[in-house]
Structure 1
């Protein structure tokens, strides 16, 4: 059940939202409920009130107000106005979402639940979808928003209809379909750091009402770095990428729709790899921390990435039901080279090449009609292969006479799931939903670790007897919705989620980690008031998580990470979202999240799981700790700088990447200019109370605020020019923090950027 604290906060927020009416919901997808928009919807904010919001959170098109799930939906128009053009910026408009980046991988957290390890083969605790296709590889979650129609963020476990690894929630990117008319949208921009951006969207019908095609292109080139490598006197933090996506949509009859989609993305950068020693700490050898975006690493890091895929979606109206089939293929390849210790000495350098490919198939049958019973059932299959070839070099190994450690690892996964859900309209104002899903996961691992001595001699590879993993789990959902008035309803739900166990590909000598399960309890309120001029959503939730998966430094491989299980985690929280259109041309939006996410049991005498705790060197593990020195790092004994990992009890500590409070507020105001023109002002403010990166809660990112703003002038409907700025006050904040034997390193978020965009729409 929800704790008394959460109940009180839910009641207080409900009273404030309904009575004060001053706090309006980040559910901003603006779409007519009877049709799918093919172009970005403008923010209205006129006297007619807010536009309807149609989402597919329950695998069918519904008004978001009727869905007993906490859903944040962001339209293409809002993304553009707020300056949100990449997935890593989503937390600025959805406070319950946090983002961390490691190399080419994006790590998302929803309500404190997420994945901290970015190794290939690791799947996120929050599922990521594009047009109904699951993206299991974390390297595919850093997306540029070009042809996006809307983004839906479902909060809380989605263990029935989506299922796979949606333990904290999911992020679903829905792209546009080509329409019945010729369409073109272009944008060209120039920004500081010698940055050139370009976006182009083209769509045209090929056969009237039967066949259409589109093409979306994006290009980004940042030549000047955010900082400098002080050791090599070269710029760092640069980024270059381009991508393409296309859809071919066929409607041979009134009852059949076929969509063939393909995409390609290529990236070259070092944004998530330019590690620097954290200010206020000392690295091995007495190397001090570095302020700002600069680094003292002994190399210029680099990651190169290719991601591509294709999917075929068929929708068949059978009269009594609609049959939907989604078949997809995805592939990603990543090559990276970086300095883990962040200092001028070659202590730990990692070079790796990783790849992944997935084949997936989903078949769903969903009832049509408006009767008292609605149902859907389906089957899901996924086959994935991931490989990782890593070389670890540096002085961290030389104490044992080792010049290089080579790790070769392959992971194969087969997953099968069957699911069903039934919604019963008990009365005109009461609705009950129940769903069930059965998942069977099979995983097979093959890995070796080989040491190469300083003399060049290769030792025999270490091959560990690693068992195949089999996990079979039931997940379910029960939700009750009660309409109070035409514009207000409340709901209560119970959900069980599951994330499969696996292996740590960077450390094949370590045992597999266990599955993570979650029980979620939620109360919510959704409202549209004053003739749809104000929308307010509230939710309170409690989670019980067993075998919570967390990152730790690998014992056998300096600089590598592995996944450990924490026994239990408790999460309590409340959140609010709002949107308002109080006057002509003015729109307000925002939200806030209060979160208490903590390890209920992680370590201690007799515990099944002991927590990693770091201590500055010179040090030995305290007698009170339930473990010994970690000799696989730099070896025991005093030295200057660096850290020693021990194992002990962190029960009561906060979980990683879970700020106690986060909020955002935005405003957009449009005024007419002349007969055809308009001038639009947009501002966005976001606040984060701060968070820890590791279970030991030693190093913390403090609170920070970000401010974005833009001014756009459109003399006609077809042409516009916009001046914009992001992180206007140039706040520094870490998006990744890593503790190893050599010290604490970090990677920072985007500094202040500003530029001008030219837009054409036909």
Structure 2
């Protein structure tokens, strides 16, 4: 019977999840709980696999097991019994036994997260709301191995200490961001609010085979809602302190029998900043100044075998986050010191404006027992950044950057159905991008009238998983990448190019110790592209490389009311790219090698109906193994002679992070109540290689309480984020003399009320 249970479970993960994930092909919205029945031929397949697994056993024992198996197969045929319920992730619902059955596409096919041999943190739309996660930067509050810095106008995510502070529009992060399978490369576009989200998956570690491009640290995979043929309307109004107004709207409907479309709109405005510029009176730290985001997706079904998704998005985003002198420091230029928590002393207002958008077409085509997927995408970015780089009321170093970026990508994948012992996927990826400054102004003069980097990258990849036995799988994958980059600086009559070839791979083994306990181990290699430093023409840098050794165990216990996942990793990180701030710009160097290892764990429990508890932790140890030529500066920006930073902590690598949440839902005589509480403790980390500028330890606490009248589409929720008003930082850095140290503080305590309607 153990063989029967295991093969039934394998059939669930290979077939049932595909059914749940692909139920939208005919335009129907994926249901939260999708019951299905095993077909006769599926029962036969299980019977055949069982028969094969009995090879080598005694004839009498084999006959007895076959008889038992045959009786069980009859019980599984249509109209006699249904198989285990598969729970969709769209609404964050739980299975009848408790915990939700999460479906991910980390291997480019729909699989239960518990059956995928890698570390994955997954959040449904409901879970994001419960934890107070409203933007990409908030993800660090629910993924302990993730930190998210915010230098100038770019987002810099780090997973397990692997990330980048590079700020050019062509400086792609080693933590790759995908939205509906479209690669979103420019770091300026990694900061946005999360609306119409179905699910977010954070894949830790190098994803050098199936995702490949610049995914050394990992992948943040965002899936938005698919349009429904049923009329769907979600709208809400949020008002919070600092006169924060947020109005998201989502509507979906059928246009024809074969076409459904949706529209997502988000308007945000913060009427009052967190602080003020003490010199010119402008408000600072306004996170939204009449911001608008639009997204529309069309779902077109051409018969049972062809599905087309066409998507378009646009955003216009403005903020006034400002740099300031840290506590205890004095500006060498003006003599001004720390101006107050969110205040600034600049003669020029710091202001970031971003316009970004794109279109994509995803075609899913069944070809016999094969699935063919084509993803075509075009994206464009236009940004303007005004920055008082001297952090003083004297007009010594005022910068204004006009940034442009565009990209075109084409990916094609072919995979089998996964019903056999061998599951495989092969594909090709083409990427072409160009970006630069036009112009880069220093004190109003064009330091760089125009420059650009063009990148052309071609990759071929494949990955296969073979079921050696009913409980043991071997996975192997390869990706070959060729990339060429060309830099042009017309004013300096400078043109240069560089190219690279890289082979990355994945090797993994996993074994189901029981149907609900998976053990795995893997070896992965990834690389991040080199490039050109656009702020300092002539400064080129080479790719960086990472080898990852990882292992873990995933388990579900007590009728799936308890989930415990544990894992460990070891990184050999070489040729690291590091950003060295200097007056009016920066220098990028390949200067470091490091070793990073850690242990991660997650516990989820459903102790009783309606109550959900979870906690997750990460313990990390990151040290530079070699870093000759590292720079140590004092608070005024004076540099000491270069030294070898061997033994220093790697940047953005907390030694210990733990998070937890509790949510409780129950009915009363006056309606339905949802209560949630979540928190995270971060032990702190360093922003700079010399380990002088530090993020001290901090604790964030979020809470919410919602009420819905009985049989009503209305919902009222009061909420608070950072209840204890903890102080932590978007970034800290040291600029050369005479500027010295500068910092940006992260959000204070915020609270408000949300009124929503959904039907």
| TM-score normalized by the length of structure 1 | 0.86
1:107 equivalent in structure 2: 156
Deviation at 1:405, TM superposition (A): 3.2
- 2:371 corresponds to 1:342: no
Please give the secondary structure, in 1, of the residue aligned with 2:692: coil
Equivalenced residues, count? 675
Tell me the distance in 1 between the aligned counterparts of 2:198 and 2:23.
13
Matching residue within 461, 481, 489 for 1:419:
461
Matching residue within 299, 318, 327 for 1:279:
327
Matching residue within 447, 459, 462 for 2:489:
447
2:746 equivalent in structure 1: 749
2:633 equivalent in structure 1: 614
1:142 equivalent in structure 2: 191
Determine which structure has greater relative contact order: mean sequence separation of CA pairs < 8 Å that are 6+ residues apart, divided by chain length. 1
CA 1:260/1:281 → structure 2, altered by over 3 Å: closer, same or farther?
A: same
Deviating more after overlay: 737-746 vs 156-165? 737-746
Tell me the distance in 2 between the aligned counterparts of 1:131 and 1:38.
19
Matching residue within 542, 546, 552 for 2:574:
546
1:517 equivalent in structure 2: 545
Tell me the distance in 2 between the aligned counterparts of 1:46 and 1:93.
22
Deviation at 1:139, TM superposition (A): 1.2
Map 1:318-717 → 2, pairs under 5 A: 318-393=367-442, 405-406=447-448, 408-447=450-489, 462-464=492-494, 466-510=495-539, 512-554=540-582, 558-603=583-628, 610-616=629-635, 641-644=636-639, 646-674=641-669, 677-716=671-710, 717=712
- 2:299 corresponds to 1:249: yes
Matching residue within 159, 182, 207 for 2:231:
182
> Does the Cα contact within 8 Å between 2:318 and 2:353 map onto a contact in 1?
yes
Map 1:11-410 → 2, pairs under 5 A: 35=23, 37=30, 41-44=90-93, 48-208=97-257, 210-238=258-286, 239-240=288-289, 241-271=291-321, 274-285=322-333, 286-393=335-442, 405-406=447-448, 408-410=450-452
Deviation at 1:116, TM superposition (A): 1.1
CA 1:346/1:645 → structure 2, altered by over 3 Å: closer, same or farther?
A: farther
Tell me the distance in 2 between the aligned counterparts of 1:257 and 1:33.
13
> Does the Cα contact within 8 Å between 1:347 and 1:393 map onto a contact in 2?
no
CA 1:246/1:390 → structure 2, altered by over 3 Å: closer, same or farther?
A: same
CA 1:46/1:581 → structure 2, altered by over 3 Å: closer, same or farther?
A: farther
Tell me the distance in 2 between the aligned counterparts of 1:591 and 1:349.
43
Tell me the distance in 1 between the aligned counterparts of 2:441 and 2:638.
19
Please give the secondary structure, in 1, of the residue aligned with 2:127: helix
CA 1:83/1:528 → structure 2, altered by over 3 Å: closer, same or farther?
A: same
- Once the two structures are superposed, residues 234-270 of structure 1 have per-residue CA deviations (whole angstroms, 9 ceiling, x without a partner) of 3211122111101111111101000100000111112
1:8 equivalent in structure 2: none
Tell me the distance in 1 between the aligned counterparts of 2:345 and 2:261.
49
| TM-score normalized by the length of structure 2 | 0.86
Tell me the distance in 2 between the aligned counterparts of 1:112 and 1:549.
13
> Does the Cα contact within 8 Å between 2:634 and 2:740 map onto a contact in 1?
no
Please give the secondary structure, in 1, of the residue aligned with 2:541: coil
Tell me the distance in 1 between the aligned counterparts of 2:345 and 2:726.
21
Tell me the distance in 2 between the aligned counterparts of 1:284 and 1:126.
36
Deviating more after overlay: 45-54 vs 90-99? 45-54
> Does the Cα contact within 8 Å between 1:45 and 1:585 map onto a contact in 2?
no
Deviation at 1:388, TM superposition (A): 1.0
CA 1:310/1:152 → structure 2, altered by over 3 Å: closer, same or farther?
A: same
CA 1:251/1:45 → structure 2, altered by over 3 Å: closer, same or farther?
A: closer
Please give the secondary structure, in 2, of the residue aligned with 1:295: coil
Deviation at 1:61, TM superposition (A): 0.3
In structure 1, stretches of 5+ residues that fail to align are 1-28, 395-401, 449-460, 604-609, 617-640
Tell me the distance in 1 between the aligned counterparts of 2:637 and 2:574.
32
Tell me the distance in 1 between the aligned counterparts of 2:124 and 2:652.
26
> Does the Cα contact within 8 Å between 1:117 and 1:551 map onto a contact in 2?
yes
Deviation at 1:575, TM superposition (A): 0.6
Deviating more after overlay: 275-284 vs 414-423? 275-284
- Once the two structures are superposed, residues 617-640 of structure 1 have per-residue CA deviations (whole angstroms, 9 ceiling, x without a partner) of xxxxxxxxxxxxxxxxxxxxxxxx
- Once the two structures are superposed, residues 12-71 of structure 1 have per-residue CA deviations (whole angstroms, 9 ceiling, x without a partner) of xxxxxxxxxxxxxxxxx9x96675647884455686211211000000000011111111
Deviation at 1:233, TM superposition (A): 2.7
Q: CA RMSD in A?
A: 1.9
In structure 2, stretches of 5+ residues that fail to align are 1-16, 25-29, 33-88
> Does the Cα contact within 8 Å between 1:324 and 1:364 map onto a contact in 2?
yes
2:721 equivalent in structure 1: 726
Deviation at 1:390, TM superposition (A): 4.7
Please give the secondary structure, in 1, of the residue aligned with 2:354: strand
Tell me the distance in 2 between the aligned counterparts of 1:408 and 1:612.
30
Tell me the distance in 1 between the aligned counterparts of 2:303 and 2:21.
22
Please give the secondary structure, in 2, of the residue aligned with 1:299: coil
Please give the secondary structure, in 1, of the residue aligned with 2:450: strand
